[in-house]
Amino acid sequence: MLIFLDSANLEHIQSAARLGVVSGATTNPSLVAKGGGKGTYKEIVLSILDLLSGEVSVEVLSEERNSMIEEARDYSSWSPRIVVKIPPTWEGISAISILSQEGVKTNLTLCFSLNQALLGANAGVTYVSPFVGRLDDVGEDGMRLVADIVETFSRYNIQTRVIAASLRHPLHCVQAFKAGAHIATMPYEVLLKMVDHPLTTIGISRFMKDAQRII
Ligand code: G3P
């Protein structure tokens, strides 16, 4: 079970990398725009690759099959650690079918149903990313989808890996691990909260106070 950072903020990625437990990153156009990094899309992605040793997902910006394929080929030429995010539209799944035959690693983003996940897997997608928080936002059970995908992929021995995405809080992470997701990708703020426990803070403070008496 791997932990990815869902961010394009270089300071956050650098800080998370120091923890030594973050294996990769996922980005999207909104995160790159929010990340505040200077430079082109490519320069920002290359900087992220420099900070982490694992894979970085980068999203296509076009919606038509051939343009997506061209974009994906370009992104994947930047580094063997690039994974191209493509949404489960008719055009997107068709693009994934071609790219998977060429060995381009892909990530089915904006996945909101088991049917989308199965179509992506049959097209040869490397990862599927069910968006948990966004399903919760509209009153559906996002984590149920993660569990359903994991269970169905396992039943049919499908090799596509499951990335639990759009995680909003530490309980989502716990639930994603329990549901059997292979990877949980999370914002920096959620990673910080995963470390935190008030009893750890209180315990350290007590030990430090008692240590004064024995030094
Ligand atoms: O990994 C997907 C993520 O970036 C979406 O998160 O919080 O915008 O739904 P959110």
Query: Is residue 129 a contact partner of residue 26, using CB atoms and an 8 Å limit?
Result: yes
Q: Which residues pair with residue 59 across a beta bridge? A: 85
Domain encompassing residue 156: 2-214
7 lines ligand 1 (CB under 6 A): no
**pLDDT value for 26:** 97
**pLDDT value for 101:** 98
Question: pLDDT digits over 52-67, tens only?
Answer: 999 999 999 999 999 9
Q: What is the DSSP annotation of 58-76?
A: EE----SHHHHHHHHHHHH
For residue 168, which atom of ligand 1 is closest to its CA?
Answer: 7
**pLDDT value for 36:** 75
Query: Catalytic annotation on 85?
Result: yes
Give how many domains the chain has, as a whole number.
1
**pLDDT value for 59:** 96
Tell me, yes or no, if the pTM score tops 0.85: yes
For residue 27, which atom of ligand 1 is closest to its CA?
Answer: 4
Burial class (CB within 10 angstroms; exposed 0-12, middle 13-18, buried 19+) of 46: middle
Q: Where residue 30 sits, what CATH number does that domain have?
A: 3.20.20.70
Query: Which residues of the chain register pLDDT less than 70?
Result: none
**pLDDT value for 61:** 94
Give me the helix-helix angle, 142-155 and 170-179, nearest 10°. Answer: 20
Question: pLDDT digits over 18-62, tens only?
Answer: 999 999 999 998 998 888 778 888 999 999 999 999 999 999 999
How many Å apart are CA 75 and CA 7, to the nearest integer?
18
